[in-house]
Amino acid sequence: MKKILTGIKPSGVIHLGNYLGMIKEVIEFQGKYEIFLMIADLHAQTVPYSPKELRKLTLDIAKSLVALGVDPKKTVLFKQSDVPAHLYLYWILGCLVSEGDLRRMHEYKEQKEKHKENVGAGILMYPVLMAADILIYNADLVPVGKDQEQHLELTRELVRKFNNKFGKLFKIPQVYIPSETSKIMSLTNPLKKMSKSEPEGCLEIFENEKRIKEKILKAVTDSEAVVKYDPEKKPGISNLMTIYKYLTKKSYHEIEEEFKNKGYYEFKLAVYKAFMNFFKEKRERKKRLSDSYIQKLLILGAKKANKVANENLEKILKATGLR
């Protein structure tokens, strides 16, 4: 079976953009691929963070993933820091990567700007650890959001370098970018991607129902009062339509018909209802999952991940002269 690896940083709670952009796709791949789904707690350390918060978010994200449909029998769900082989390969790849290439990464420049001097070299090495995450499992396919594309390109470059120097140990991983759904925009600023940095525009899947309703009803629209898909002229309404489309499986055309001669309030109310309806069971499931059950799952996941990673590590150590 072909392998998928992907990671999610425990730097916030899961929102609709994360779900439609990547999680939903990974869940649909279950059974068709061998899936390694990792909580990237080491990556979360590259920007200022609190240990207590990191611990809490890591557990919470794992719980959310299971509630959303990650099946621990089909998917290896684990914490990145529980598999030391990632860090071993990270060092080896770090000695191969060119510093100039790292400094060219958009995300590096962005994060550096955001946190000014308040970050260590980890932020520069971030994509090298990502490459190690992927290659230690020799993954075939890596589902990621569009913002991670450049990091994947660097991974592919590192595979070429490594294979040239030490023998053909790694496959060149394919990037999988979920199409339209990766473009869920902020409700308050529909020209920007939905992100937790703009909480009012960010629909968190497990937050309280009142807040969800509030946020949807307050979403930015336009003054035309026509529900019509036109991302250029009507980015707010079009974004709500994209959300509604995925929650109800209706087409843009069907949505336009449904809300013909109806106001935005009615449309927004329908989006809210569709959201609650779509996530109802998942939200209830999350409440029933205990911390200790999730902790056990993560330990089990780490065991499986370590087995595969350590087997590959042996080969890597031999090829690179360390054994």
Residues identified as active-site: 112, 193, 196
Nearest one of 107, 131, 134, 141 to 22, comparing CA atoms: 141
Q: Return the number of the residue (7 or 236) whose C-beta is nearest ligand TRP.
A: 7
- Does 194 bind ligand TRP (CB under 6 A)? Our answer is no
**Residues 131, 154: contact at Cβ < 8 Å?**
yes
Q: Return the number of the residue (42 or 270) whose C-beta is nearest ligand TRP.
A: 42
Q: How far is the CB of 6 from ligand TRP (least distance, A)?
A: 4
Which helix H or strand E contains 64, and what residues bound it?
Answer: helix 51-68
Q: Return the number of the residue (149 or 209) whose C-beta is nearest ligand TRP.
A: 149
Q: Return the number of the residue (23 or 212) whose C-beta is nearest ligand TRP.
A: 23
Per CB under 6 A, contacts with ligand TRP among 117-136 are 130, 133-134
Q: Which amino acid, one-letter code, is at 218?
A: K
For tokens 């990037």, the residue is 175
Could you tell me which residues are beta bridge partners of residue 79?
Answer: 39
Q: How far is the CB of 108 from ligand TRP (least distance, A)?
A: 12
- Does 43 bind ligand TRP (CB under 6 A)? Our answer is yes
E runs forming strands in the chain: 3-8, 34-39, 75-79, 141-143, 174-176
Q: Which amino acid, one-letter code, is at 131?
A: A
Given the rule CB under 6 A, which of 6-14, 58-66, 250-258, 272-280 is the region that contacts ligand TRP?
Answer: 6-14
How many residues of this chain interact with ligand TRP, rule: CB under 6 A? 13
Using CB atoms within 10 Å of the CB of residue 65, give its burial: 0 to 12 exposed, 13 to 18 middle, 19+ buried: buried
Q: How far is the CB of 154 from ligand TRP (least distance, A)?
A: 12
Per CB under 6 A, contacts with ligand TRP among 222-281 are none
Q: Return the number of the residue (30 or 276) whose C-beta is nearest ligand TRP.
A: 30
Q: Name every residue whose Cβ is closer than 8 Å to that of residue 208 and which is 6 or more positions away in sequence.
A: none
Given the rule CB under 6 A, which of 60-68, 139-147, 207-215, 271-279 is the region that contacts ligand TRP?
Answer: 139-147
What is the per-residue DSSP string for 117-166? T---THHHHHHHHHHHHHHTTT-SEEE--GGGHHHHHHHHHHHHHHHHHH
Nearest one of 10, 13, 18 to 183, comparing CA atoms: 18
Q: How far apart are CA 100 and CA 254, in angstroms?
A: 50
Per CB under 6 A, contacts with ligand TRP among 12-41 are 40
Q: Which x/- pattern over 141-160 shows residues binding ligand TRP (rule: CB under 6 A)? A: -x-xx--x------------
Q: Return the number of the residue (123 or 297) whose C-beta is nearest ligand TRP.
A: 123
Q: How far is the CB of 11 from ligand TRP (least distance, A)?
A: 8
Q: How far is the CB of 139 from ligand TRP (least distance, A)?
A: 8
Q: How far apart are CA 288 and CA 64, in angstroms?
A: 11
Q: How far is the CB of 73 from ligand TRP (least distance, A)?
A: 22
Q: Return the number of the residue (104 or 318) whose C-beta is nearest ligand TRP.
A: 104
Residue number of the CB atom closest to ligand TRP: 7
Q: Please identify which residue in 3, 6, 244, 309 interacts with ligand TRP, judged by CB under 6 A.
A: 6
Query: Phi-psi region for residue 149, left (φ > 0), alpha (ψ -120 to 50) or beta?
Result: alpha
Q: How big, in percent rounded to 5, are the helix, strand and coil portions of the chain?
A: 60, 10, 30
**Residues 13, 206: contact at Cβ < 8 Å?**
yes
Q: Please identify which residue in 9, 15, 24, 245 interacts with ligand TRP, judged by CB under 6 A.
A: 9
Site residues for ligand TRP per CB under 6 A: 5-7, 9, 40, 43, 130, 133-134, 142, 144-145, 148
